[in-house]
Amino acid sequence: SVYMIDAGSTSIENAAKYRISGAVRYKGISQIDYVIVTHPDKDHISAVIELLESGDDQHISIGHILTPSFPENENYKKLVRYAEEKDVPVTDLCEGMKINEGELQLLCIHPEKNKRSESINDDSAVIDLRYGEFCALFTGDLEEQGEKNIMPYLKSEALRLSGYDLLKIAHHGSAGSSGIEFLKLVSPDVSIISAGVGNVYGHPHQ
């Protein structure tokens, strides 16, 4: 199966056409079986909406969407509307949900079901990925309060792991994320920051 976590842009229109579809089709992929949308900010969701709207033109289909529910958010409502039109099921992603496929395990460790915080970023889905001995943590736009919410899970895993192999740094390297205690617990060998060169937000912050 093919999995994708988040896809979008605040600065590039038609990001699916100009960024996603070429990379996906280069790998010979015509269907993304599971799209995980961590939260509905435009830079995480716009290309997913575009694929639902015009994916037939780009010869890429989506099998299933997993995302926390944000019923008051316009981007979320648009995502659900297009998904319904294309008969793509949307599942409310929340803590405890798991996908197992061979050696692959995807476990959602945040957010709690039917519980929302003041910050949409702190309600980002956080995914713990295991593949054989490899382990990675994907954090959406989680901020420091959200990081504190998953500390109990990370502390329990620290007993078993000597740190994660890979961390997707939260919120594009913003100063409001990546607290010291959180980083010490995750203790990644490699960290990845998603941020465009010269972006208007100044990400990543020092």
Read off the pLDDT of residues 151-206 as tens digits, 9 standing for 90 and up: 999 988 765 677 899 999 999 889 899 999 999 999 999 999 998 888 887 888 88
23-32, 39-48, 174-183, 193-202: the lowest-pLDDT one? 193-202
Strand order of the β-sheet with 61-67 is: 3-5, 31-36, 61-67, 90-92
Closest CA to 68 of 109, 8, 100: 109
Mean pLDDT for the stretch of residues 96-114: 95
Cα–Cα distance for residue pair 103/166, rounded to 1 Å: 17
Give exposure, 19-37, as e/b (b: 16+ Cβ within 10 Å).
ebbeebeeeeeeebebbbb
Give the pLDDT of residue 148: 93
Cα–Cα distance for residue pair 79/201, rounded to 1 Å: 25
pTM over 0.85: yes
